[in-house]
Amino acid sequence: MGAVYKNLLKPLFFKLDPERAHELTVDSLRVMRAIPGLSRFLGVFNQLPSAAKPVEVFGVSFPNRIGLAAGFDKNAVCWEAFEAFGFGHVEIGTVTYKAQPGNPRPRLFRYPQHDAVLNRMGFNNHGAQFVAARLAKQPGPGERRIPLGVNIGKSKVAPLDKAVEDYLGSFALLADHADYVAINVSSPNTPDLRKLQEESRLRELLGELVAANAAREASKAGSRKPILLKIAPDLTDGQVDDIVQILHDLKLDGIIATNTTMAREGPFEEINQAGGISGRPVCEMSTKMIARIAKLTEGKLPIVGVGGITDPDTAAEKLDAGASIVQVYSGMIFEGPLIAKRVAKRLAADSGDL
C-alpha cells in the first residue's frame, strides 16, 4: 500500500490542483467510511497489535501515539476512515460558529522540494451547527474506535471583542461530540486571530471556556471535556512563558504545538505566497517549542506535538522533546497515509507500549 501511494496515487494527485486532489481524497474516504466494517477491517493490518498498551493522556485513551492534525477533515465527513491506516485519533475542524467559505482559491500550494505545504484556506467550513448535527449521527464518545478531537476557531465575521461569545457558541454545540476540544488561536489566515494569543485576551477567552466546561458538568448537561490550546510556532519565548502560566492558572488539559508558520527563513524564503507553511520547514521550530514547554512545565502539561513529521524519526524527536502524542498532516501528503502505521509502531516501541 505504501508503494501504491508513492508510485500510483501520488503522481496522479500531484498532477492535480492541490485543493482538487484534497477534495477527491475526502470524497474517496467518505465512500470508504460508508462501507460497514471496511476501515475497521483494514485497521486490523495497520493498527498496533491489540496487546499494545493504550496511551492515556488528559483523561482520553488513545490506541497509539499518532493522530491526524486539524484541517484535513474540516466538516467531519470522513474521519472514521483514518483508523484503516493506523491513525490513533483524528482532530476535525477548524469549525467556526458561523459557516464560511474561506479565502478565494487558489489557497493551497505544495512545495515538494521542501516537503512543505502552504495554505491560506481561511477556515472554510460548514459551521458548528451543521457539523454538530453530522456528528450526532456518528458514533459518539465512548462508542468510537479512535478518539475524536474537535478544533474550534473564530468566525471571520466575529470582531475580536466578540470572539469569546463566538467560541462559546461553538463549544456549546460541539463539546458533547468531542473526546477533547482544541481551541485554535494560531491559524495565520483569519485576520486578528493570532491576537487571541496575547496575554489578557487569552486569559479571558480560556477562562470563559473553562467556566462553560465546569458549568456543563455541574448542571449535568454533559461531562467535562479536556480542553487544549493550539499555538503558533512563531511566538516569542516571552509569549510562550505567558501562555504556559495561563494554562497552569486555568488548569487547562494540554497544549497542541504547533500550527503553521509565517516565517520564511533560510532555504524557505523562496516560498513567497501569503499563508502558513507546514511540513519540513516547521519541524525544528515546533520541536524546539515542545522542548521549551516541557521544560517550563516540568513535563506536567500534556503536549500534542505537531509540525513537520515526515517519518518515524521526526515523530520520535517530538516525543523525546516532551510530547505525549503527535499529529501529522503535510507529511501524509508526501509520504501517504501509512506514515501513521510506521510512526505508531516506532513510537510504541520507543515508549514501551508494546
Q: Are 257 and 303 in contact (CB under 8 A)?
A: yes
Nearer to ligand FMN, 60 or 309 (CB): 309
Q: Which of 173, 181, 228, 309 binds ligand FMN (CB under 6 A)?
A: 309
Q: What is d(CA 143, CA 125) in angstroms, rounded to the nearest whole number? A: 25
**Which of 103, 170, 259, 324 is in the footprint of ligand FMN by CB under 6 A?**
259
Q: Does 117 bind ligand FMN (CB under 6 A)?
A: yes
Cβ atoms of 294 and 321 within 8 Å: the answer is: yes
With vertex at residue 173, the alpha carbon angle to CA 242 and CA 20, rounded to the nearest 5 degrees, is 85
- If one asks whether residue 47 binds ligand FMN (CB under 6 A), the answer comes out as no
- Is residue 64 near ligand FMN by the rule CB under 6 A? no
**Residue whose grid cell is 487547562:** 252
Nearest to ligand FMN of 173, 332 (CB atom): 332
Stretch that binds ligand FMN, among 75-83, 98-106, 166-174, 325-333 (CB under 6 A): 325-333
Query: Which CB, 38 or 271, lies closer to ligand FMN?
Result: 271
Q: Is the peptide bond before 258 cis (omega within 30 degrees of 0)?
A: yes
Site for ligand FMN in 179-198 (CB under 6 A): 184, 187
Q: Is 187 a catalytic residue?
A: yes
Mask 68-97, x = binds ligand FMN (CB under 6 A)?
A: -xxx--x------------------xx---
The nearest distance, CB 312 to ligand FMN, in angstroms, is 14
Q: Which whole-number Å values give the CA distances from 338 to 11, 42, 104, 344, in the listed order?
A: 17, 11, 31, 10
Cα of 136 vs its chain's centroid, Å: 21
Q: Toward ligand FMN, which CB reaches closer, 14 or 45? A: 14
29, burial (CB in 10 Å: exposed 0-12, middle 13-18, buried 19+): buried
Is 141 an interacting residue with respect to ligand FMN (CB under 6 A)? no
| Beta carbon of residue 208, minimum distance to ligand FMN (angstroms, whole number) | 20
Interface pick for ligand FMN out of 306, 316, 347, 348 (rule CB under 6 A): 306
Give dist(CA 169, CA 98) in Å, integer. Answer: 9
Q: How far is the CB of 40 from ligand FMN (least distance, A)?
A: 25
Contacts of 272 (CB under 8 A, 6+ apart): 264
Taking CA atoms, 96 is separated from 124, 133, 169, 202, 276, in Å, by 9, 14, 9, 17, 19
Catalytic residue chosen out of the listed positions 170, 187, 324, 330: 187
Considering the complex, what minimum distance in angstroms separates the CB of residue 274 from ligand FMN? Answer: 14
Distance CA 68, CA 190 (A): 22
Q: Is 230 in the site for ligand FMN (CB under 6 A)?
A: yes
**Given the rule CB under 6 A, which of 6-14, 51-59, 98-106, 113-121 is the region that contacts ligand FMN?**
113-121
- Asked whether position 260 contacts ligand FMN by CB under 6 A, the answer is yes
C-alpha cell at 216: 456543563
Between 24 and 217, whose beta carbon lies closer to ligand FMN? 24
Between 163-174 and 128-136, two packed helices, what is the crossing angle to 10 degrees? Answer: 10
Name which position in 119, 197, 314, 324 contacts ligand FMN (CB under 6 A): 119
Q: With beta carbons less than 8 A apart as the criterion, state whether 314 and 61 touch.
A: no
Q: Which stretch binds ligand FMN (CB under 6 A): 24-32, 217-225, 247-255, 326-334?
A: 326-334
Q: How far is residue 220 CA from its own chain's centroid?
A: 28
Amino acid at 128: A
Shortest spacing between CB 330 and ligand FMN, in angstroms: 3
Query: Which of 199, 212, 79, 194 has the alpha carbon at shortest distance from 135?
Result: 79
The C-alpha cell at 129 is 451547527
Catalytic residues: 187
Residues engaged in binding ligand FMN (CB under 6 A): 69-71, 74, 93-94, 108, 117, 119, 121, 123, 151, 184, 187, 230, 259-260, 278-279, 282, 306-309, 328-331
